[in-house]
Chain A
Amino acid sequence: MAVVDRINAAVRRVPAWPIYPVCALWLAWVFYRGATGGLGVEPIEALEHEYGAMALKVLVVGLAISPLRRHAGLNLVKFRRALGVSAFVLVLAHLAVWAVLDVQSLDRIWADIVKRPYVTVGMAAFLLLLPLALTSNDRAVRWLGPKWRRLHKLTYPAAVLAGVHFLWLAKGFQLEPLIWLAVISALLVLRFRPGRGARPRAAPTQG
């Protein structure tokens, strides 16, 4: 049995649901550290960045699932919904820290959204993820039918916007946001390139 098949067999026995409580516990744990001095002397910025960075990571992991199946035969699809919903919850927490603890007033929130390009881009990413989170249940999947798959392709532009959001708030030449944007781009290319799981569209002509 190939390694990939053995992993796939093992994965079948691992449930996806623990992702939700792990995500919730992690959010609470980091908040607790921020409130008790564990995140340094400026916990608001630290908390905002911790939540935002984790949201991006989980989003990218979720994004990697399709390419992994197509190109490596690794089937982790059962985790995709829990990862997607968790990423959204993390984005929501990031947004809440920004609005409530950081910016602190409605007119400043609005001013930031319309005036600051990296906030505008981040907010656009959030708005793209919102319908995906709302339709992440079996009823919505049945109700939308084939439209559900098309709707959920919004994950890709949302991830690109999230990467741009991260890059745009950096000062000076910083490598980390560029690496994230490169990873997201690579996953996009892999996703839309036919792999071993895809049907060939047409026989190549001899030339």
Chain B
Amino acid sequence: MARRWTNDLTRDDVTPKSLWLNRRQLIAGLSAVGAAGIGGPVAAKSDLEPNTWEEITTYNNFYEFGTGKGDPAKNAPAMDTTGWQVTVDGLVDNPGTYDLADLIGDMETEERIYRFRCVEAWSMVIPWNGFELADLLAKVGVQDGANYVAFETVVRPDVMPGVRRRVLDFPYVEGLRLDEAMHPLTLMATGIYGEPLPNQNGAPMRLVVPWKYGFKSIKSIVRISLVAEQPPTSWNKANASEYGFYSNVNPNVDHPRWSQATERRIGGGLFAQRQDTLMFNGYDEVAGLYEGMDLTKFF
């Protein structure tokens, strides 16, 4: 693990719990972030003020629980995540269906404060707790010939109204190229603000890929497969002309139905100003992964 991503923010940089539980809509003047991005990732990151617990946990896309932004917070608590199991299969040394504690119990979690940019042109800053996906992949042992990692979300029609209405072709599936999955920025999150992930945020374990649109960061994972070929991904299956496999945050490539040049940071209230969207959501260190690729074609 020669090039681990170093976290330049600590617990001390995060709003104390007593404050973030009450603090609302105080970060309207966050426009400095856009300008600071040019100065490099370090400057950009230290300017980030995380969104509040309320913002992060009441404004969600989790279509299994409904298409409204408030639906996941309303419906997801009915999901019981005790006894959670994750199947690891494909080109791995240690395939099997693991109890979550057995799979990740020995992972060292740390805090990562990341920008989160939704494909719908809104964004947040979220203090995740988690571990690098690379560490988990090292533990299960990636075999030669594996080029991609495929992920699958749990399907529980009894507590998931969106699944019963077939909003998408469930189970929700996502995927990363192996080098993307191994990148030190790529996180498996199990908490926010030091608390366990709420169900609407993808409990008990979700992916976080901060330089890609939010829908790539698949929630409530029950399967991780190492595969040779590029795996299918849910939104790409639903509409290939709108959602590509890569889905890197890119202000220069618009969604066919709306612009991606700017975004609205959640929490600014009714008069929040739009801010410029940054290439790779400000995480320029991933640019090398896509060298020589036409990102208008591989969007």
Contacts and interface: CB of A to CB of B under 8 A. Distances in A.
A37 B24 CA distance: 9
A44 B272 CA distance: 8
B122 interface: yes
A173 B166 contact: yes
Contacts of A118: 257
A117 B166 CA distance: 25
Given A42-B69, A42-B122, A108-B259, A101 B25 contact: no
B230 interface: no
Contacts, number: 66
Interface string A108-137: 100110011110000000000000000000
B259 A172 contact: no
A174 B270 contact: no
Contacts of B297: none
Contact of B168 (A117, A168, A172): A172
Contact of B258 (A37, A43, A116): A116
B257 A34 contact: no
Contact of B67 (A35, A102, A108, A171): A171
A171 B213 CA distance: 15
A173 B266 contact: no
Interface residues of B, number: 32
Interface in A147-178: 168-175
Contacts of A101: 270-271
A101 B269 CA distance: 10
Given A116-B257, A168-B257, A169-B257, A43 B269 contact: yes
Contact of A172 (B24, B167, B269, B274): B167
Contacts of A35: 269-270
Contacts of A112: 258-259
B59 interface: yes
Given A44-B264, A111-B259, A112-B259, A172 B25 contact: no
A102 B52 CA distance: 22
Contacts of A40: 58-59, 69-70
B267 interface: yes
B257 A172 contact: no
B168 A173 contact: yes
Nearest to A34: B270
Contact of B54 (A41, A44, A45): A41
A42 B59 contact: yes
A41 B55 CA distance: 6
User: Which 9 A-B pairs have CB atoms at the shortest separation, nearest pair first?
Assistant: A41-B55, A172-B167, A43-B270, A41-B59, A35-B270, A172-B168, A34-B270, A104-B274, A173-B167
Given A37-B24, A43-B270, A175-B165, 8 more contacts: A35-B270, A108-B259, A108-B262, A115-B254, A116-B258, A170-B67, A173-B165, A173-B238
21 contacts: A34-B270, A40-B70, A41-B52, A41-B55, A41-B58, A41-B266, A41-B267, A42-B59, A42-B266, A44-B264, A47-B270, A108-B259, A108-B262, A115-B254, A118-B257, A171-B67, A171-B120, A172-B63, A172-B167, A173-B166, A174-B67
